[in-house]
Amino acid sequence: MDEFAVATGLTGTAPLRRYLWTDAFAVCNYLGLYRESGEGRDLDLALRLVDQVHHTLGRHRPDDSREGWISGLAEEEGERHPTRGGLRIGKSLPERGVDQPFDPHLEWDRDGQYFHYLTQWMHALHRVGQELGQPVFHHWAIELAVAAHARFTRSDSRGALRGMAWKMSIDLSRPLVPSMGQHDPLDALLSYLELQAGAIAATPATSPAAATDCPLLENEIAEAKALCEHGEWATDDPLGIGALLTGVFRLADMITRHGIVEARLMGRLLAAARLSLEAYAHGNPLTGPVESRLAFRELGLAIGLHALERIDASSVREDGGREALTVLTNYLPIARRIDDFWSDPAHRRNPSWTAHQDINTVMLVTSLVPAGYLGR
C-alpha cells in the first residue's frame, strides 16, 4: 500500500492517478491497516485519499472544456457536497462526445460514470463513517446514492421502471451504455440498505431529529427491490461470484447488527452464490498459466470467500439457507490458493499482473487484510 500511495500520487510527487474502483478498496485497506497498527499515518492516508478522489473525480477532467464540480455546484457548495453529482470513473480517455459513434472496444477506456463503481465508493465512505463515528461520511454516501439512482434508473413512457444504464456520461445527463449490468440492481439494493442502517446508527441518540437532515433512501430501496424482483444473479465470473458472497456477508451483518428483515433476499443470494461457485469450481480454473489469469477477478472471489468466513450463521434461516451456507464453506480453501498464487513475486512480475498493477495490488491487500473492507 505504500508503493500504491507513491505510484498514484497519494504521497510523494508523482502525478495523481485516481481511479474510483481501485481507490474505494484502497481507502478500506488503509482503514484495516489502521486497525492493526493503530498508527495515525494509515488513517491519514485513508482520509487523504477520500479528499483526493472527491477533488479529482468529483470535478471535470483537466482536458475538458467544462470546469469545476461535475454536479454544477458553486465552489463552496461543492466542497460541502462533493458527491452530489456522482464521481467519474477515472479512465484515461475523455468520455464519448454526443456526436461520436459508439465503439465497444474504445468505450472501455473512455471516462464517464459506472454505477457499480459508485456503490463501491458508497461502501468506502460508509466504512470511514463507521470507523470514525462521523456522520458526514454517511451523508456524502447517501447524497451519492440519491444522485446516482435518479440518473442511472430508466423508466418507460408510463413512468414504470425498466432498468438501469450500465454507464452514464460524466455529468449524468445521458447514457453511454444503456444496457443494464447483471448485478447493478442488487448492488443498489445492498448499498442502500447498508447506508440507511449506517446513517441511523450514526445518528446521536440525543438528537434523533438529525436523522432527517439526510434522506434515508426509502424510495430508492423500494425501486431497487422492484428491479431485483426478477433478477438472475448466477454468474461464471469469479469477480461477480465474490460480489455475491460479499453481499451475503453484508446482508447477514445488517440482519445481526440492525435487525434488517430480508430473509427472502438472503435466500436468493445464497442460491445464486451456491450455483455460481459450484459451476466455477467444477471448471478447475485455477490451474491455468499465469498469462491467462486476471488477478483482480480472482482476488474478488477470494475476498468474497474471506467474507464468508466471517458470517454469523444465526442470521441465516433454516429453510435451505443454512444448508447452502454449509455447502459454500466447502470452497473456502480456494481463497488461500488465490492469495498464495498472487503473493508470489514471480507471478507479480508477469504482464498479466503489471498491466493492471494498481487494482491488482489493492485487491490482493484487501484479500490478505479484509477487516478494513468488511468492517470485522
What per-residue confidence (pLDDT) applies to 228?
Answer: 96
Could you tell me which residues are beta bridge partners of residue 173? none
Run of H or E including 114: strand 113-114
Q: What is the DSSP letter of 176?
A: E
Give the pLDDT confidence score for residue 211 in this predicted structure. 42
- Of 130, 41, 198, 196, nearest to 375 by C-alpha is 130
- How far apart are the C-alpha atoms of 194 and 7, rounded to whole Å? 32
Instruction: Give residue-wise pLDDT tens across range 22-59.
Output: 999 999 999 999 999 888 999 999 999 999 999 999 99
82 to 69, 150, 172, 310: CA distances (angstroms): 8, 17, 15, 33
What is residue 313's predicted lDDT score, i.e. its pLDDT? 81
Q: How confident is the model at residue 130 (pLDDT cuts 50, 70, 90)?
A: very high
| pLDDT digit string, tens, across residues 271-329 | 999 999 999 999 988 999 999 999 999 999 999 999 999 998 888 876 668 889 999 99
pLDDT of amino acid 212: 43
Measured CA to CA, the distance from residue 308 to residue 287 in angstroms comes to: 23
Tell me: the pLDDT tens digits for 244-276?
A: 999 999 999 999 988 888 999 999 999 999 999
**Averaged pLDDT, 59-82:** 97
Distance (Å, whole) CA 82 – CA 51? 9
**d(C-alpha 323, C-alpha 325), whole Å:** 5
Going by C-beta distance under 8 Å and a sequence separation of 6 or more, which residues neighbour residue 234? 272, 275, 276, 279
110: which strand partners?
93
For the entire predicted model, the pTM comes to: 0.95
For the chain, give every domain's residue range: 232-376
Read off the pLDDT of each residue in 183-199 and give the average, rounded to a whole number. Answer: 95
